[in-house]
Structure 1
Amino acid sequence: MTQTTDTSVETVTALYDAFARGDVATVIGALDENVEWYEAEGNPWHPGRAFVGPQQVVEGVLARIAEDFEDFRVEPHKFISNGETVAVEARYRATSHRATGKPLDAQVAHVWDVRDGKVVRFQQYVDTRQLADVMGVAVI
């Protein structure tokens, strides 16, 4: 059975709420075993391919957030739904990047594909120039 639009938005909203509480287990539990997680091209963490499966998402993204940023948070403010796909306008904020000391306040959009209560695909769009500047890496 495929989820309705409202249920997909509820699933995604619950993920942002869990992340805000620091409940990474709930976030990981909502990922399909074959989830494809795409960081924005130009993001210093973008490996040139999707992270596939929850373990790669943890190692390639979630653990790095905790390691690299002080008080990192995602502040969603608009959800747009089209069936199984939910787009979210948000901001990334952090008190500072641990290596540079620079604060983060970047515009971001996320596109989530949800099937049967599980995230099967995620695509990040972010101000990669600002992210690279905060992280102290060169922009090519």
Structure 2
Amino acid sequence: MSEAYDIIKAHYAASDRGDLAGMLEAFADDIAWTEMAGFPYAGTYVGTDEIKAGVFARLNADWEGFRADAAELIDGTDGTVVAIGHYSGTYRATGKAMKVRFVHVWRVKDGAVTGFEQFCDTHNVREAMS
């Protein structure tokens, strides 16, 4: 497996442990993190501070037991890694649980994560929120 694959595998392992510092460890200073249109936290966040505040802090505040479980990692070319898995958690405001499939496309260059793009069924996420 490639270095990029190992870096992304380590990211998900840190996520499983609840280790935010470990999740961010290989992020480039100018990483671009894109949550897809329709997702509650849609937009592109640049840099770890924006990602922590705009994505991870909000997920932690809004969802009980939120998880991103990658069931499969695909080692692509030129530092691209694709993760296929599912999100799960219970929206605190409604008490509704969800389990939603996702695809994450990661870009790694020179040992640093430079990009992330999310694809998921945003309708099912929003249903848990309403």
For residues 44 and 121 of structure 1, what CA distance do their matches in structure 2 show?
20
What SS does the aligned partner of 1:11 have?
helix
Structure 2 equivalent of residue 10 of structure 1: 6
Structure 2 equivalent of residue 42 of structure 1: 38
1:2-46 CA-to-partner distances (Å, cap 9, x unmatched) read xxx521111101000001101101112221100000001111211
Displacement over 6 Å in runs of 4+? none
Matched, 1:21 2:17: yes
Structure 1 equivalent of residue 74 of structure 2: 80
Structure 1 segment 1-140 matched on structure 2, within 5 A: 6-47=2-43, 50-83=44-77, 84-94=79-89, 96-136=90-130
Whether contact under 8 Å (2:11, 2:24) holds in the other structure is no
1:36-71 CA-to-partner distances (Å, cap 9, x unmatched) read 000011112113xx1000000000101111101111
Q: Under a length normalisation based on structure 2, what TM-score does the superposition of the two structures give? A: 0.94
Letter in structure 2 aligned against 1:85: T
For residues 118 and 19 of structure 1, what CA distance do their matches in structure 2 show?
17
Q: Under a length normalisation based on structure 1, what TM-score does the superposition of the two structures give? A: 0.88
User: Quick check: which one's strand share is greater?
Assistant: 2
What SS does the aligned partner of 1:72 have?
strand
Whether contact under 8 Å (2:103, 2:120) holds in the other structure is yes
> Where does the alignment leave 5 or more consecutive residues of structure 2 unmatched?
none
> Where does the alignment leave 5 or more consecutive residues of structure 1 unmatched?
none
Percent sequence identity over aligned pairs: 33
What SS does the aligned partner of 1:12 have?
helix
- Which piece of structure 1 moves more, 77-86 or 103-112? 77-86
The two structures, once aligned, show a CA RMSD in angstroms of: 1.1
Letter in structure 1 aligned against 2:27: L
